[in-house]
Amino acid sequence: MKQHTIQEIGQQLAKAKSVLLFPHDNADGDALGSAAALCGALRKAGKETAVLMGERAPDSFQFLDQGFFTFDQQQIPEPDICMCLDCGEPSRFLKRKEKFFQGRTTICLDHHVTSEPFADYNHIDGKAAAAAELVYKLIVSMGIAMDKTIGEAIFTGICTDTGNFQYSNTTKESHLITAALYDAGIDHAKVAVEVYQNMPLEKFQIVNKTLGTMELFAEGKAAMAHVTQAMLQEMGASVDHTDGCVEALRNIKGVEVAAFIKEKKDHLCKVSMRAKSTANVAKIAAVFGGGGHVKAAGCTLEMDIQEACGRLKQAIEESIRKDQALE
Amino acid sequence: MKQHTIQEIGQQLAKAKSVLLFPHDNADGDALGSAAALCGALRKAGKETAVLMGERAPDSFQFLDQGFFTFDQQQIPEPDICMCLDCGEPSRFLKRKEKFFQGRTTICLDHHVTSEPFADYNHIDGKAAAAAELVYKLIVSMGIAMDKTIGEAIFTGICTDTGNFQYSNTTKESHLITAALYDAGIDHAKVAVEVYQNMPLEKFQIVNKTLGTMELFAEGKAAMAHVTQAMLQEMGASVDHTDGCVEALRNIKGVEVAAFIKEKKDHLCKVSMRAKSTANVAKIAAVFGGGGHVKAAGCTLEMDIQEACGRLKQAIEESIRKDQALE
């Protein structure tokens, strides 16, 4: 299985009568934005198209569903093409995998560097900040006119995957594509309201409670916070609602290592860590058999949360001490 | 006093030997980014140039100071040009006003719709999302080569004034200018670290404490939070550190009116309000003699903070009830 060009993928889509689209499980703004944009474009081109969902989309992304999303695997019984978006491997759409490979032709459009081609046609561009950028190029290459709905879906993908054009993956092209979307009439501020002003109350509350546990140590170079099952139950929140907490800790001035400990169940804690500039959190995670990248890593500690906090704190302090000795 | 073109302003700067730049008081990312970018460019063009500051720049923007910022009104004793950036009126640089008008020629470059021309040369473009966009155009019109330092200062101005390209003031041009800055070699992710990962500890703590006072009412359509002098003293924080709290309240799903009450001193409370989509907070502010825009307004209540919270809550509930009656 090899890499194909955007044009080759466009030609396959142009030939097809029916196309079923697959965002990944726990779909985010890029997977859903990409799928919605392509669904809108293919319908404009007269194709029978739908987005086969793994689960209900988060509230923030419901606006993308202009009659596109379905849970019915039989909505298109025998699709000419099954195409997955933003998925590095078939395990990213596990319960829909069988249906995917029933497509007469399969296509994978993705931007994860680690992805291996697994479909009949594959276009994987690790330099693209978002899969939505590739969808933009695909729609342009097919000669389908961009419009407000398609443009806002692409914009959603780009914004969410670039952290609003702040993450290092953002490129000149992310901005050039976005500029072109303005010509299609997008209301970027409306998208921002949908995506960022729809925070579930339980998320607001659990984030507030969690950040309230913040503790600074190692002379202010490290920050740690935690969430317990009891806290989650009190707020009716899930662990997913604490996404973003570790970044909030890292954003404190002077903090070089941020650690966030989640009690998954009794005697099982998951740790997320972030480094700001010089520290290496992958090394700290490795102490506990975990791993990741220099600036974002994690590990699992099979112990009581209080013990986990203590052990992790020690490891972080030691790591910072070693770094200082080297300076 | 009339409006001038960017080119006319560039011609004045080209003729000058010395230029003193004025960001506004309590300078933000746009005022400081604009001033730093222009200072860097004018020095490249061989001018004697400095940025005369009103007060120390916030930590998040210290990286912009490449030997540009000064507090010494005599650093350039008799400037050919005094030029203010992002200032709608001379009251925006009150303690430096006398020095400003000592310039042989005065220039105002601004993007506030409400600004009145008050200098010898004025270019006020209310459509620009940031003054930094105008500085970009000015530098290009003067034929000075963009570089990494200048580019990152302009990027800072655009990011901060557009809320990372989310606010409604963002335009296609904001993205096109940013794309051009990538050609100048900007490290956009480094800027993001400086600007957003430098939160003072006391801000982190007071925001957490303040959002902990959040109360939902009017069937979840309104959210209110407050900060007292006692809370500020406990955290060693200032009222400015609570900037952003009212937006955090508005971001809760279902919340249409967000209100944030700050106790300035005994029996003096300042209120900030935000509406999400349909409500009109200017009307609610008017009940207490305040004002503002439909989606962002404020008022002052000369009473005890508990009474202020109660009175405001009543007014918001009444307003939401009226809106519902009209639906």
The reply to whether A1 falls in a domain is no
| List of E strands, chain B | 18-23, 48-52, 69-70, 81-85, 105-110, 121-124, 215-217, 222-227, 257-265, 268-275, 291-292, 296-301
Chain B residue closest in CA terms to A196: B251
A171 contact residues in B (CB cutoff 8 A): 182
Q: Hey, is the C-beta of B213 within 8 angstroms of any chain A C-beta?
A: no
The reply to whether B192 falls in a domain is yes
The reply to whether A65 falls in a domain is yes
Out of B172, B196, B220, a domain closes at B196
Interchain proximity A175–B179, CB inside 8 Å: yes
Instruction: Check if the beta carbon of residue A33 is closer than 8 Å to that of residue A157.
Output: yes
Q: Angle of helix B148-161 relative to helix B131-141, nearest 10 degrees?
A: 150
Q: Give residues 25 to 84 of A whose Cβ lies within 8 Å of B.
A: 59
Q: The dihedral of CA B296, B298, B304, B309: what is its sign? A: negative
Interchain proximity A220–B201, CB inside 8 Å: yes
| Distance between CA atoms of residues B168 and B171, nearest Å | 8
Does the structure's ipTM exceed the value 0.90?
A: yes
Nearest to B16 by CA among B65, B70, B78: B78
Q: Is the pLDDT of residue B110 over 80?
A: yes
B237 lies in the same domain as B172: no
Residue B135 corresponds to which amino acid? V
Number of domains making up chain B: 2
Q: The dihedral of CA A71, A75, A77, A79: what is its sign? A: negative
Q: Hey, is the C-beta of A233 within 8 angstroms of any chain B C-beta?
A: no
The reply to whether A320 falls in a domain is yes
B244 lies in the same domain as B164: no
Q: Could you tell me the two tokens for B154?
A: 């302009």
pLDDT of residue B79: 98
B136 lies in the same domain as B258: no
Interchain proximity A172–B183, CB inside 8 Å: yes
| List of E strands, chain A | 18-23, 48-52, 69-70, 81-85, 105-110, 121-124, 215-217, 222-227, 257-265, 268-275, 291-292, 296-301
Q: Hey, is the C-beta of A171 within 8 angstroms of any chain B C-beta?
A: yes
Q: What is the pTM of this model?
A: 0.92
pLDDT-based confidence at residue B1 (cuts at 50, 70, 90)? low
Q: Is the pLDDT of residue B279 over 70?
A: yes
Instruction: Check if the beta carbon of residue A41 is closer than 8 Å to that of residue A13.
Output: no
A156 lies in the same domain as A238: no
The reply to whether A79 falls in a domain is yes
Instruction: Check if the beta carbon of residue A14 is closer than 8 Å to that of residue A142.
Output: yes
How far is CA A198 from each of CA A32, A122, A190, B165, B251, rounded to the nearest angstrom? 16, 35, 12, 18, 6
Instruction: Check if the beta carbon of residue A93 is closer than 8 Å to that of residue A87.
Output: yes
- Residue A74 buriedness (CB in 10 A; 0-12 / 13-18 / 19+): exposed
A187 lies in the same domain as A268: no
Q: Could you tell me the two tokens for B325?
A: 């009656």
A56 lies in the same domain as A122: yes
pLDDT of residue A278: 87
Of A167, A188, A254, nearest to B189 by CB-CB distance is: A167
- Contacts (Cβ under 8 Å, ≥6 apart) of A318: none
B216 contact residues in A (CB cutoff 8 A): 201
Interchain proximity B179–A166, CB inside 8 Å: no
pLDDT of residue B36: 98
Nearest to A191 by CA among A32, A84, A21: A32
Interchain proximity B189–A168, CB inside 8 Å: yes
Q: Could you tell me the two tokens for B75?
A: 């650093």
Instruction: Check if the beta carbon of residue A6 is closer than 8 Å to that of residue A124.
Output: no
CATH classification at residue A116? 3.90.1640.10
The reply to whether B271 falls in a domain is yes
CA of A315 vs chain B CAs: smallest distance (Å) = 23
Q: Which of A63-77, A80-94, B19-33, B114-128 has the lowest mean pLDDT?
A: B114-128
Nearest to A255 by CA among A286, A228, A235, A277: A277
Q: Angle of helix B131-141 relative to helix B6-15, nearest 10 degrees?
A: 60
Q: Could you tell me the two tokens for B305?
A: 């903070």
**Cβ atoms < 10 Å from Cβ of A209:** 20
A173 lies in the same domain as A214: no
User: How is residue A91 annotated by DSSP?
Assistant: G
**Cβ atoms < 10 Å from Cβ of A32:** 30
Out of B163, B196, B229, a domain closes at B196
A126 lies in the same domain as A176: yes
Q: Which helix (H) or strand (E) holds A43?
A: helix A29-44
Q: Which residue is it, tokens 């409670």?
A: A209
B179 contact residues in A (CB cutoff 8 A): 172-173, 175-176, 179
Structure confidence by residue, pLDDT tens digits, B172-207: 999 999 999 999 999 999 999 999 999 999 999 999
Q: Hey, is the C-beta of A200 within 8 angstroms of any chain B C-beta?
A: yes
Residue A111 corresponds to which amino acid? H
Residues of chain A with pLDDT under 70: 1, 115
CA of B292 vs chain A CAs: smallest distance (Å) = 20
Residues in chain B, overall count:
327
Residues in chain A, overall count:
327
Q: Hey, is the C-beta of A306 within 8 angstroms of any chain B C-beta?
A: no
B84 lies in the same domain as B176: yes
Q: Provide the edge-to-edge strand list for the sheet that holds A257-265.
A: A215-217, A222-227, A257-265, A268-275, A296-301, A291-292
Interchain proximity A166–B164, CB inside 8 Å: yes
Interchain proximity A196–B251, CB inside 8 Å: yes
Q: Is the pLDDT of residue B298 over 90?
A: yes
Instruction: Check if the beta carbon of residue A135 is closer than 8 Å to that of residue A85.
Output: yes
| Distance between CA atoms of residues A145 and A151, nearest Å | 10
Query: What is the count of residue pairs from A and B with beta carbons less than 8 Å apart?
Result: 120
Q: Is the pLDDT of residue B326 over 90?
A: no
pLDDT of residue A1: 55
Chain B residue closest in CA terms to A178: B175
* Residue-range definition of the domain harbouring residue B244: 201-326
Q: Give residues 260 to 299 of A whose Cβ lies within 8 Å of B.
A: 276-277
Q: Give residues 179 to 198 of B whose Cβ lies within 8 Å of A.
A: 179, 182-183, 188-189, 192-193, 196-198
| Distance between CA atoms of residues B141 and B143, nearest Å | 5
Of A193, A220, A277, nearest to B277 by CB-CB distance is: A193
A141 lies in the same domain as A249: no
Interchain proximity B198–A251, CB inside 8 Å: yes
| Distance between CA atoms of residues B129 and A126, nearest Å | 31
Out of B153, B178, B196, a domain closes at B196
Instruction: Check if the beta carbon of residue A143 is closer than 8 Å to that of residue A165.
Output: no
A182 lies in the same domain as A66: yes
Interchain proximity A251–B199, CB inside 8 Å: yes
Residue-wise DSSP of A101-131 = TTSSEEEEEE--TT----SSEEEE-TT-S-H
CATH classification at residue A284? 3.10.310.30
Dihedral angle over CA of B237, B243, B245, B250, nearest 10:
170
Interchain proximity B208–A204, CB inside 8 Å: no
B30 lies in the same domain as B144: yes
Q: What is the largest CA-CA distance in chain A?
A: 66
Q: Which helix (H) or strand (E) holds B136?
A: helix B131-141
Interchain proximity A182–B204, CB inside 8 Å: no
Instruction: Check if the beta carbon of residue A128 is closer than 8 Å to that of residue B150.
Output: no
Q: Angle of helix B172-183 relative to helix B148-161, nearest 10 degrees?
A: 160
Interchain proximity B182–A198, CB inside 8 Å: no
- Contacts (Cβ under 8 Å, ≥6 apart) of A58: none
Residue-wise DSSP of A145-193 = PP-HHHHHHHHHHHHHHTTTTTSTT--HHHHHHHHHHHHTT--HHHHHH
